[in-house]
């Protein structure tokens, strides 16, 4: 690709592969209907991100038809997929990447239970330990904003900057999540819908019991820093990974 170093070209190809593949997680977990929802991922080492094409069926998505954009949301011309329009929410994703440098991935869904909370403009209270683990407290409401420019992005950044939650319920619209990478943002979207459903059901039968803040803090710290397997650093993992090069589906050898 003209103008990018071989390292950035590999990073772009890997991001295309990842974003195309992750969209199947949204259908797998039933977070989207038809072509609703979208995922983007920042290209490591470049002021670029990859996002899905607008209105394209999930089963037609591929690495080659993902769209490469700069951080102003402009499609990079003469790149694979650039003949199509990017997601309706491209400006919002771009605004998040410009204003939250720690964010590597953004997801948007209209998942049913979480969007029902958004329709009421009501944050999801932290009444189950899974919320404390994943979101460190309630899942907040963001302002009502019309699609098409970066107004939604402003609402996401205003709401989530300095907030433990990686999910925000944009009033009357749906879920936006952020993550250190696109997979992390997808996880936040999956867990957001799960807790939205659980707390909705709980409230139908009574008043859920709030979890004390000190317990929320302890649960969040454990889950974010202890849960799962020990983190293997990149050097260790590189020394144990196979030396053979692999070719991405976008045709780039790593």
Give yes or no for residue 65 binding ligand 5SP (CB under 6 A): no
Name the active-site residue from 4, 17, 113, 133.
133
CA 139 to centroid of chain Cα atoms: 15
Residues in contact with ligand 5SP, counted by CB under 6 A, come to a total of: 12
Among 8, 9, 35, 163, binds ligand 5SP (CB under 6 A): 35
Answer whether 98's CB lies under 8 Å from 84's CB.
Answer: no
In this structure, what token pair is assigned to residue 141? Answer: 């409401």
Among 31, 67, 81, 89, binds ligand 5SP (CB under 6 A): 89
User: In the complex, what is the shortest distance from the CB of residue 194 to ligand 5SP, in angstroms, rounded to a whole number?
Assistant: 20
Please provide the DSSP assignment of 139-198 as one string. BPEEPP--BTBTHHHHHHHHHHTT-S-SEEEETTTEEEEEESSHHHHHHHHHHHHHHHHH
Give yes or no for residue 150 binding ligand 5SP (CB under 6 A): no
Give yes or no for residue 87 binding ligand 5SP (CB under 6 A): yes
Instruction: Calculate the alpha carbon distances from 11 to 1, 49, 233 in Å.
Output: 12, 10, 19
Among 16, 31, 37, 115, binds ligand 5SP (CB under 6 A): 37
Give yes or no for residue 194 binding ligand 5SP (CB under 6 A): no
Judge whether 133 counts as a catalytic residue.
yes
In this structure, what token pair is assigned to residue 54? Answer: 């607008």
In this structure, what token pair is assigned to residue 29? Answer: 């977990």
Give yes or no for residue 172 binding ligand 5SP (CB under 6 A): no
Give yes or no for residue 147 binding ligand 5SP (CB under 6 A): yes
Give yes or no for residue 112 binding ligand 5SP (CB under 6 A): no
Q: Name the one residue in this structure whose structure tokens are 């997929």.
A: 81
Helix and strand totals (H; E) in the chain: 8, 7
Residue 116 vs 147, nearer CB to ligand 5SP: 147
DSSP symbol at 59? G
Judge whether 58 counts as a catalytic residue.
no
User: In the complex, what is the shortest distance from the CB of residue 87 to ligand 5SP, in angstroms, rounded to a whole number?
Assistant: 3
Active-site residue list: 133, 227
Q: Which residues sit at the interface with ligand 5SP, rule CB under 6 A?
A: 35-38, 52, 54-55, 87-89, 108, 147
């Amino acid at each position: 690709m003209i103008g990018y170093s071989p390292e950035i070209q590999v990073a772009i190809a890997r991001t295309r592969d990842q974003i195309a593949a992750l969209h199947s997680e949204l259908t797998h977990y039933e977070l989207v209907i038809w072509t609703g929802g979208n995922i983007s991922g920042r290209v490591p080492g470049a002021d670029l991100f990859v996002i899905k094409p607008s209105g394209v069926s999930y089963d037609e998505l591929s690495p080659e038809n993902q769209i490469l954009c700069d951080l102003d949301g402009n499609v990079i011309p003469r790149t694979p997929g650039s003949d199509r329009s990017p997601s309706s929410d491209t400006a919002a994703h771009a605004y998040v990447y410009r204003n939250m440098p720690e964010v590597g991935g953004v997801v948007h869904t209209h998942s049913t239970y979480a969007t029902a909370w958004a329709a009421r403009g009501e944050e999801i209270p932290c009444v189950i330990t899974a919320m404390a683990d994943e979101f460190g407290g309630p899942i907040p409401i963001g302002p009502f904003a019309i699609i098409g420019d970066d107004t939604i992005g402003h609402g996401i950044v205003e709401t989530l900057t300095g907030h433990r939650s990686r999910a925000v319920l944009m009033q009357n619209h749906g879920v936006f999540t952020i993550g250190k990478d696109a997979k992390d943002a997808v996880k936040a979207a999956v867990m957001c819908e799960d807790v939205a459903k659980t707390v909705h059901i709980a409230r139908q039968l009574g008043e859920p019991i709030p979890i004390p803040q000190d317990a929320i803090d302890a649960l969040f710290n454990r889950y974010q820093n202890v849960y799962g397997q020990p983190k293997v650093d990149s050097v260790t993992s590189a020394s144990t990974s196979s030396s053979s090069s692999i070719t991405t589906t976008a045709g780039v050898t790593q």
